[in-house]
Structure 1
Amino acid sequence: MSTEVLFLIATLAIVFYVWQKRRHSFWKRRGVKEIGPVPILGDTVRFLTGKVPFFEQIREFHETPGLENEPIIGVYLAYRPALVIRDLELIKTVMIKKFNYFNNRKLQTDPHHDALGYNNLFFVRSPEWKELRHKISPVFTSGKIKQMYPLMVKIGKNLEANVGRQPNDSVVKIKSLCARFTTDLIATIAFGLEANALQDPKSEFFHHNQAIFTPSFRRAIDFSVIFMLPALASLARVTVFSKATSEFIRKSVKYVMAEREKSGLRRNDLVDILLALKREAAASPDKNNKAKNLDYLIAQAAVFQTAGYETSSSTMTLALYELAKNEEIQNRLRQEIEESFGEDEDISYERIQEMPYLTKVVNETLRLYPIVGYAERECAQPAQGERFTLAPHHDMELPDGTPVYISAVGIQRDPKYWPEPEKFDPERFDAANRDKLNMDAYMPFGVGPRNCIGMRLGLLQSKLGLVHLLRNHRVNWCDETVKTIEFAPMCAVLASKNEIYLRVERVSA
């Protein structure tokens, strides 16, 4: 190797070392407490080496020994400075009071090769986000959900029948069962399709829903870039959905939209909203309206399908795991289910909303296991006018583009707000204990205007599934049941690393 080449390599190495050293002193130079990064990987060593999922890495930042009382902590996602906010008042300021500075997520996927990921409501940026959310929100009003409810009950009965067909005392992969239930629900109420996941082991809908969250090396790379290095999204060609899943969603939604247009049928569901957006775009051909692009419309269906499938099925799974572990709590819930049904074959929409113990069980499940696990936003400082500072904790102006993170898992398991935080105790949410709760420390669906749009529907799905599963059956631990939940390190959301097996036993009438 020539002297010139060696000199060039040495020079580049020195430049990189100096650049990185300066990047990794960003918070120290501003007087913000930091964890202390390692070269190249910053503070995200455990995530980047596949030891923990991203939300758990954020939780570890939140719980850094020696910084437990700090309102803010400076961290480095590889080379990129980011801020973890621990103080609840500052969290409210960022997520609600000063939302105009934080109305975008930092997350990003590839706009050129992932139309369904880039254009959906979760990823889309302001001001487009605000208009899109306003137009899609009617699907999730309590009135619309009530209209959907009879369709949901039908799927609940299918779940009950599925469990009833299995031999008594069967050992069941409980996540698979719950995920088949939510697959059928979403296909029915969002698209008017029958996925038949509870009847057909080879259901295409179920297969493609599973593929989105099944851990793999390629998915780990995609989500690492989306979470940590969104500026490289186009270069790395990252996608939220695989090519096969994208094509399946396109095919399904195109078919339903075409059939709906042909028949003129109205179901007051997501497809009707998408068709309205399509007509609105067609009526103003001169306007720059993204709804002219079919992929833009299909993207909204894709995120509805994905989020509705995973969050509710995981909530049900983890609730059943905890109920199997806590027999007294399970018996009390089953008693409420029996009393609520009475002599009726169906449980009404009003009655399921009025089941206090069921609500407490679901709330406590989501406290212990908030499915997304964290919230994040990007700071957008205005070119003119008042700029955002970290007052009263610091007088610095947060630089434009800085990502901020909030650990939902960390806060919801913080003994400062939740005594015995690792204990599953639905009574925390009893009306008599309301004055002891700090509900600012409860954020399973996010915080502020950009929280989960489908929160009502997600809660109802989980409640309905639990009611129908536990109406005539009991879940118990068995030899194959994991004793503690370890989180899957290469999964984008909170999920068990190991399969959760439970023994399902019929209850005598």
Structure 2
Amino acid sequence: MLAETLILLATLATIFYIWQKWNYSYWERHGVKYIKPVPILGNMVNLFKGKVPFYLQVSELHKEPGFEKEPLVGIYLAHRPALLIRDLELIKTVMIKKFNYFANRALSTDPHNDQLGYNNLFFVRNPDWKDLRAKLSPVFTSGKMKQMYPLMIEIAKDLETNLSERSTGSVLPIKNICARFTTDLIATIAFALATLARVKVFSKKTSEFIRHSINYVLAEREKSGVKRNDLIDILLAMKKEAAENPDKPNRAHDIDYLVAQAAVFQTAGYETSSSTMALALYELARNEEAQNRLRAEISDYFGDEDHISYERIQEMPYLSKVVNETLRLYPIVGYAERECIQPAQGERFNLKPHYDLEVPNGMPVYIGVLAIQRDPQYWPDPDKFDPERFDPTNRHNLNMDAYMPFGIGPRNCIGMRLGLLQSKLGLVHLLRHYRVQTCDRTVKSIVYAPLSPALQSKDEIYLKLERV
């Protein structure tokens, strides 16, 4: 019996060894330069050890020594072959020029256990994505932002009131304060709620909470008939269209499909803007000259008013430079990804002139956004916080193809305009009357949270607030 067991184990081990050796020879067999994998884990060693988040693992692979001149590199996600694109022109080809071959994200969620994740705009697949994006895009136009702006001003004033209740010199958790501010903003402008609890993942408990909350808002808006030109109005229009055509295929027949859009709006909206705002304050606390210059601009633009108009906040040059530089150093989603979709007939996507290879249908493709935005060949002294990089007089020195904090191409962040406005509004109302300073509790450098899908500090960012 023992001998038979040993023979069985030896046979299984041999089969596994042969399979793994064949699997990890994929890029070698196709003549593509690749980063050598380790058994079982492929090129995801630090990720699987829990040391780094996925975007940082991609960034490390992008910077792998010996591949600096390569336009693309073969990698392995555990046992699965994937492509890492490094060349900016090839990135534009994949993400923009040949978008029809890369319209879907490689990321996916479980349609059975995570209906809200599976159905939302971020994950939904083409052609449903194209239809949904067209219906949701009107919420994010400049005209809609201007309509929402008075509501946003009220939340910004609440932030000032909240801070005024703290004694000068208080040491405050800036991440938490920024998260509460942007949460209240999203809840107010998107859902007409005074506040909405924050959620980060669509667990079963979280999904039930979101369903209950958004269903309540939808029902109340439908009952009242009030028009606010916000996300809820768009979702109700989608629901009405589906109800008027019961025999026509329409995913809006499923209430979870509608709830999913509201859910991703809330979670993504608060996380991206709050992180950008907190990290900008962190850098400004360490750069007194930049902070003083921004505060002077804020004072000029406020004048004798208690707020800055929508048009005027868009025109603040140094504020834009500070936010742009923050997003360069800390792109909230530190990588981009797509999945190749090869047609059954017709022209197929090929890696020429780099390699004469058709990318297999379903292969994931990755771009190390964080690595590119800190690459010294595009950004001199890349780890330095320097808003003047984005001064118009320096634009000729920049390759803006290497700047993609909101993604790139048709499937970039739909809420980019709103995210920028939220961050700018929070910064001007906080810095209007306060100076942020480092203290003995302030982290010396930003360490990324290893389990977070979005770029954020592992530790709370404590800063001292002094009234000016």
TM-score grouping bracket, smaller chain normalisation: over 0.9
- Render the CA deviation track for 1:7-63: whole Å, top value 9, x for unaligned: 332222211111111111111111111110010000101000001110000000000
Q: What residue is the counterpart of 1:215 in the other structure? A: none
Tell me, yes or no, if structure 1 residue 123 matches structure 2 residue 123.
yes
Which residue identity lines up with residue 43 of structure 1 in the other structure?
N
Q: What residue is the counterpart of 1:413 in the other structure? A: 374
Tell me, yes or no, if structure 1 residue 175 matches structure 2 residue 175.
yes
Which residue identity lines up with residue 177 of structure 1 in the other structure?
I
Distance in 1, matches of 2:314 and 2:452, equals 32
Matching of residues 27-176 of structure 1 within 5 Å? 27-176=27-176
Shift of 1:319: 0.2
Number of residue pairs aligned between Structure 1 and Structure 2: 468
TM-score (norm 1): 0.91
Helix, strand or coil at the partner of 2:109: coil
Q: What residue is the counterpart of 2:211 in the other structure? A: 250
Shift of 1:3: 3.5
Shift of 1:434: 1.1
Helix, strand or coil at the partner of 2:15: helix
Unaligned runs of 5+ in 1: 196-204, 213-239
Shift of 1:2: 4.2
Distance in 1, matches of 2:391 and 2:221, equals 45
Shift of 1:290: 1.1
Distance in 1, matches of 2:230 and 2:273, equals 19
Which of 310-319 and 287-296 deviates more?
A: 287-296
Matching of residues 196-215 of structure 1 within 5 Å? 205-206=196-197, 208-209=198-199, 212=200
Question: Percent same amino acid at aligned positions?
Answer: 71
Unaligned runs of 5+ in 2: none
Q: What residue is the counterpart of 1:11 in the other structure? A: 11
Which residue identity lines up with residue 405 of structure 1 in the other structure?
Y
Helix, strand or coil at the partner of 2:367: strand
Tell me, yes or no, if structure 1 residue 474 matches structure 2 residue 424.
no
Q: What residue is the counterpart of 1:340 in the other structure? A: 301
Distance in 2, matches of 1:426 and 1:296, equals 41
Distance in 2, matches of 1:124 and 1:271, equals 19
Distance in 2, matches of 1:422 and 1:58, equals 18
In the alignment, which of 447, 453, 465 is matched to residue 426 of structure 2?
Answer: 465
Q: What residue is the counterpart of 1:278 in the other structure? A: 239
Distance in 1, matches of 2:49 and 2:286, equals 32
Q: What residue is the counterpart of 1:313 in the other structure? A: 274
In the alignment, which of 244, 247, 265 is matched to residue 226 of structure 2?
Answer: 265
Q: What residue is the counterpart of 1:235 in the other structure? A: none
Tell me, yes or no, if structure 1 residue 358 matches structure 2 residue 302.
no
Ranges of 4+ aligned residues in structure 1 off by more than 6 Å? none
Distance in 1, matches of 2:108 and 2:397, equals 39
Which residue identity lines up with residue 327 of structure 1 in the other structure?
E
Helix, strand or coil at the partner of 2:38: coil
- Render the CA deviation track for 1:97-135: whole Å, top value 9, x for unaligned: 000000000111110111100000000000100000000
Q: What residue is the counterpart of 1:325 in the other structure? A: 286
Q: What residue is the counterpart of 1:198 in the other structure? A: none
Helix, strand or coil at the partner of 1:447: coil
Tell me, yes or no, if structure 1 residue 299 matches structure 2 residue 257.
no
- Render the CA deviation track for 1:301-334: whole Å, top value 9, x for unaligned: 0000011010000000000000000000000000
Shift of 1:488: 1.1
Which residue identity lines up with residue 450 of structure 2 in the other structure?
P
Q: What residue is the counterpart of 1:506 in the other structure? A: 467
Distance in 2, matches of 1:491 and 1:260, equals 34
Shift of 1:378: 0.3
Distance in 2, matches of 1:16 and 1:280, equals 53
Shift of 1:390: 1.1
Please provide the CA RMSD for this pair: 0.9
Distance in 2, matches of 1:136 and 1:5, equals 60
Which residue identity lines up with residue 115 of structure 1 in the other structure?
Q
Tell me, yes or no, if structure 1 residue 379 matches structure 2 residue 304.
no
Which residue identity lines up with residue 153 of structure 1 in the other structure?
I
Distance in 1, matches of 2:350 and 2:278, equals 41
Which residue identity lines up with residue 506 of structure 1 in the other structure?
R
Distance in 1, matches of 2:446 and 2:246, equals 53
Distance in 2, matches of 1:486 and 1:262, equals 48
Helix, strand or coil at the partner of 1:152: helix
Tell me, yes or no, if structure 1 residue 368 matches structure 2 residue 329.
yes
Shift of 1:67: 0.9
- Render the CA deviation track for 1:266-320: whole Å, top value 9, x for unaligned: 1000000100010011011111211111111000000000110100000000000
Tell me, yes or no, if structure 1 residue 185 matches structure 2 residue 188.
no
Shift of 1:4: 3.4
Which residue identity lines up with residue 22 of structure 1 in the other structure?
W
Distance in 2, matches of 1:372 and 1:121, equals 16
In the alignment, which of 358, 367, 378 is matched to residue 397 of structure 1?
Answer: 358
Distance in 1, matches of 2:74 and 2:61, equals 9
Distance in 2, matches of 1:272 and 1:391, equals 47
- Render the CA deviation track for 1:167-193: whole Å, top value 9, x for unaligned: 110000000000000000000011000
Tell me, yes or no, if structure 1 residue 487 matches structure 2 residue 460.
no
TM-score (norm 2): 0.99
Distance in 2, matches of 1:5 and 1:385, equals 52
Helix, strand or coil at the partner of 1:394: coil
Which of 466-475 and 244-253 deviates more?
A: 244-253
Distance in 1, matches of 2:222 and 2:182, equals 26
